[in-house]
C-alpha cells in the first residue's frame, strides 16, 4: 500500500465575521506547512461571512428570490415547499444556496458574490506569500436529483484543473476512452467534506497529492486559456446540453397547456 493522498484539517480558524481577511487567517493557521501542489478547500460559508453576505432570517424568502434566476422544479410537502432553482451563478440547487445552518442566530447566509473571483484572489495571495504553486477551491453542499443525501461540490476554483478530460486517452488495453471527463474539482470538494464535516468548525482543509492538477506559476500567471484550466463556472452544464431543465411535473404541465391550446377550436 502506497500513500497517495493526504487530507489535513486546519484547526483554529474560529468564527469569521464581515470584513475579516481570509488570506491572512488561512496563511497564519496553515503556517509554513503549505507545499507545492497543495489544494486548499475553503467552505463557502466563511467566504460569505467575510463578505457580509447575510440577510435577516425574517427575509429568507426574499433573499432566495433575489438569488434565483429561474425556478427549475418545486414540490409541496408537509414541511413546506422544496424549490430547486438556478441561481445567479448558474448553479442548480435547493433554495439558491441560502442557508441558515452555522450562521449567527436570526440571520441566513447567501452564497459568496463571485466564488471564482474569491478563489482567484485567495490563490494569488497565498501563491505570492508562500512562493508555492497551489490551488484554491470554494465548496458548497448540493443535493442530487436521483440520489439521497448531499455531497460537497466546487462553486469556486483557481490555480488547478477543475476537469480531467480523458477523451481519447488510451485505456489499459490501448483503446481510446469514450465519454470520460472527470469533474476533479467536485471530487476534491467531496474528499474535503469527509474531513470538514458539517458540525465540527473546520472550514479549511488542505489536500496533498494532487499536484498533477495544479497549475505551474507560468500557466497560473497566464490566466485560464484552456477550457479545463480553472474556474468552477466551467463545471456548469449549458442549458442547450441540459436534459433536465425543468422538473417532470413542470414540463408535463407546460406541455399539457400547449396541447390544449393547439387543439382548441378556432
Residues in 221-250 that interact with its own copies by CB under 8 A: 234-237, 242-250
Residue 31 engages its own copies in binding (rule: CB under 8 A) = yes
Q: Which is nearer to its own copies, 31 or 223 (CB)?
A: 31
Contact residue for its own copies among 19, 81, 263, 266 (CB under 8 A): 263
Contact residue for its own copies among 68, 120, 141, 230 (CB under 8 A): 141
β-pairing, 39-43 vs 135-142, is parallel
Contact residue for its own copies among 22, 26, 92, 158 (CB under 8 A): 92
Is the separation of the CB atoms in 64 and 71 below 8 Å? no
35-74 residues near its own copies, rule: CB under 8 A: 73
Residue 168 engages its own copies in binding (rule: CB under 8 A) = no
Q: Which is nearer to its own copies, 219 or 244 (CB)?
A: 244
As measured in angstroms, the least distance from the Cβ of 188 to its own copies is: 7
Contact residue for its own copies among 104, 117, 217, 222 (CB under 8 A): 104
Which of 217, 242, 89 is closest to 153 using CA atoms? 89
Task: For residues 22 and 10, give the distance between their C-alpha atoms in angstroms, rounded to a whole number.
Answer: 13
As measured in angstroms, the least distance from the Cβ of 131 to its own copies is: 18
Q: Which of these segments, 58-66, 117-125, 126-134, 165-173, binds its own copies (CB under 8 A)?
A: 165-173
Contact residue for its own copies among 71, 125, 132, 190 (CB under 8 A): 190
Task: For residues 52 and 109, give the distance between their C-alpha atoms in angstroms, rounded to a whole number.
Answer: 9
Residue 148 engages its own copies in binding (rule: CB under 8 A) = yes
C-alpha cell, 189: 470538494
Which of 150, 125, 104, 106 is closest to 24 using CA atoms? 125
End-to-end alpha-carbon separation of the chain, Å?
75
Which element (helix H / strand E) includes 206? strand 204-208
HSE, side-chain direction, 13 A CA sphere, residue 216: 2
Contact residue for its own copies among 132, 182, 211, 219 (CB under 8 A): 182
Residue 210 engages its own copies in binding (rule: CB under 8 A) = yes
C-alpha cell, 134: 497551489
Task: For residues 158 and 26, give the distance between their C-alpha atoms in angstroms, rounded to a whole number.
Answer: 16
Amino acid at each position: 500500500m502506497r500513500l497517495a493522498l493526504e487530507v489535513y484539517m486546519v484547526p483554529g480558524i474560529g468564527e469569521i465575521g464581515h470584513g475579516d481577511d481570509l488570506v491572512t487567517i488561512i496563511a497564519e493557521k496553515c503556517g509554513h506547512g503549505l507545499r507545492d501542489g497543495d489544494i486548499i478547500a475553503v467552505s463557502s460559508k466563511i467566504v460569505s461571512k467575510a463578505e457580509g453576505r447575510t440577510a435577516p432570517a425574517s427575509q429568507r424568502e426574499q433573499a432566495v428570490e433575489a438569488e434565483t434566476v429561474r425556478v427549475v422544479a418545486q414540490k409541496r410537502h408537509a414541511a413546506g415547499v422544496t424549490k430547486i432553482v438556478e441561481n445567479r451563478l448558474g448553479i442548480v440547487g435547493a433554495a439558491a444556496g441560502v442557508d441558515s445552518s452555522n450562521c449567527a442566530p436570526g440571520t441566513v447566509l447567501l452564497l459568496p458574490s463571485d466564488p471564482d473571483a474569491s478563489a482567484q484572489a485567495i490563490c494569488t495571495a497565498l501563491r505570492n506569500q508562500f512562493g508555492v504553486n497551489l490551488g484554491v477551491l470554494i465548496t458548497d453542499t448540493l443535493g442530487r436529483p436521483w440520489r439521497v443525501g448531499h455531497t460537497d461540490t466546487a462553486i469556486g476554483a483557481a490555480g488547478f484543473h477543475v476537469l480531467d478530460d480523458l477523451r481519447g486517452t488510451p485505456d489499459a488495453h490501448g483503446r481510446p476512452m469514450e465519454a470520460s471527463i472527470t469533474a476533479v474539482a467536485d471530487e476534491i470538494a467531496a474528499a474535503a467534506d469527509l474531513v470538514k464535516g458539517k458540525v465540527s468548525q473546520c472550514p479549511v482543509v488542505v489536500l496533498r497529492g494532487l499536484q498533477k492538477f495544479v497549475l505551474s506559476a507560468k500557466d497560473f500567471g497566464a490566466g485560464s486559456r484552456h477550457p479545463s484550466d480553472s474556474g468552477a463556472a466551467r463545471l456548469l452544464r449549458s442549458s442547450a446540453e441540459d436534459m433536465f431543465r425543468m422538473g417532470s411535473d413542470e414540463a408535463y404541465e407546460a406541455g399539457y397547456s400547449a396541447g390544449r391550446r393547439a387543439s382548441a377550436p378556432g
